[in-house]
């Protein structure tokens, strides 16, 4: 089951890049640097070399589809306002604004009627939001995305960026997908990244980055962001490989780590460069062991941060 906005993907296009190209792009990209270096292997849309087994990884428990958190403890950071404080340090990203969109909300499951409300995504109507997926042991995707978002915010602020979160555990549900897009637009973001983890079949491994398709209809017009978003997504994919040791998805994107979709409101309604990243498959035990590892989540945040920096400095 795909957790991002709950709509099955359209038929995939032939692969445009080989997985090896992602690494080449990473190594040749301007500003490509920093971060923990590992072997090779991303998440929900690619697989390649076997992932390292982090010492901190925990093994998923018996099958239990419930999204209720029972895995690693949620972040202890106090809730803060969505519009985070401006960066106070000087660095390579000074003057840049990055919006981080943690997928779903841990309390969406308590507000099923509210998140089922239909919203306009330009070309059609879809649910306000969804609950997301979880590991078999109950570690919720929404807990994962908030944790990675917090780590990513710290890394970007340390480089001088102004960082805005679409939400930070400060609301009972949502935001809806259309509001998530508007937050990035209103901030005038130089880049927006929506953080997710997939919920697919066992054996489907790896990460993938979702790019906006060329869409025009209603309030949706992605014509100005398709090119920049592909550049952003390609750089993130290449640097995610290097930082995490993960491989591109073996079930989406033809081993490129890239997937283009036109059914996601968060992309359709964006007027600034934006991508989604599915960091791994929560329903595969091997991927789940990575996703539940605090050490690996730090590497994931580093890979995303490196990709953003490469794009903004490129």
For the segment 64-88, what is each residue's pLDDT rounded down to a tens digit? 333 333 344 444 444 444 444 554 6
pLDDT > 50? residue 16 = no
Tokens 């927006």, located at residue: 192
Spatial separation of the C-alpha atoms in residues 254 and 269, rounded to whole Å: 26
Residues annotated as catalytic are 278
Using CA atoms, how far residue 191 sits from 52, 150, 248, 268, in Å, is 30, 17, 22, 15
As a whole number of Å, the end-to-end CA separation of the chain is 35
Residue bearing the bigger pLDDT, 92 or 28:
92
- 28-37, pLDDT tens digit by residue? 443 333 333 2
**Mean pLDDT for the chain overall:** 81
CATH of domain 19-49+91-313: 3.40.630.40
pTM greater than 0.85: no
Concatenated DSSP letters of 158-184 = HTT-EEEES-SS-SSS---HHHHHHHH
pLDDT of residue 162: 98
Tokens 């990055």, located at residue: 98
């Amino acid at each position: 089951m795909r957790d991002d906005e709950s709509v099955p993907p359209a038929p995939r296009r032939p692969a445009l890049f080989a997985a090896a190209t992602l690494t080449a792009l990473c190594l040749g990209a301007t500003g490509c640097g920093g971060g923990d270096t590992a072997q090779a292997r991303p998440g929900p849309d690619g697989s390649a070399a076997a992932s390292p087994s982090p010492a901190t990884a925990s093994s998923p428990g018996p099958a239990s589809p419930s999204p209720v958190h029972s895995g690693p403890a949620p972040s202890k950071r106090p809730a803060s306002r969505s519009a985070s404080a401006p960066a106070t340090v000087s660095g390579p990203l000074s003057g840049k604004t990055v919006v981080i969109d943690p997928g779903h909300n841990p309390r969406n499951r308590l507000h099923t009627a509210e998140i089922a409300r239909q919203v306009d995504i330009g070309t059609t109507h879809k649910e306000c939001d969804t609950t997301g997926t979880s590991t078999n042991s109950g570690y919720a995707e929404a807990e994962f995305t908030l944790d990675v978002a917090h780590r990513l915010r710290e890394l970007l602020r340390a480089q001088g960026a102004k960082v805005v979160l679409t939400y930070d555990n400060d609301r009972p549900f949502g935001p809806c997908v259309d509001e998530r897009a508007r937050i990035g637009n209103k901030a005038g973001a130089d880049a927006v990244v929506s953080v997710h983890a997939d919920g697919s079949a066992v054996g489907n491994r790896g990460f993938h980055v979702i790019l906006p398709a060329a869409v025009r209809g209603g309030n949706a017009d992605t014509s100005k962001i398709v090119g920049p978003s592909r550049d952003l997504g390609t750089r993130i994919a290449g640097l995610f490989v290097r930082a995490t040791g993960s491989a591109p998805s073996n079930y989406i994107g033809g081993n490129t780590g890239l997937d283009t979709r036109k059914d996601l409101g968060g992309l359709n309604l964006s007027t600034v460069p934006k991508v989604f990243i599915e960091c791994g498959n929560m329903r595969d035990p091997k991927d789940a062991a990575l996703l539940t590892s605090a050490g690996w989540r730090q590497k994931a945040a580093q890979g995303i941060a490196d990709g953003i920096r490469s794009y903004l400095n490129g």
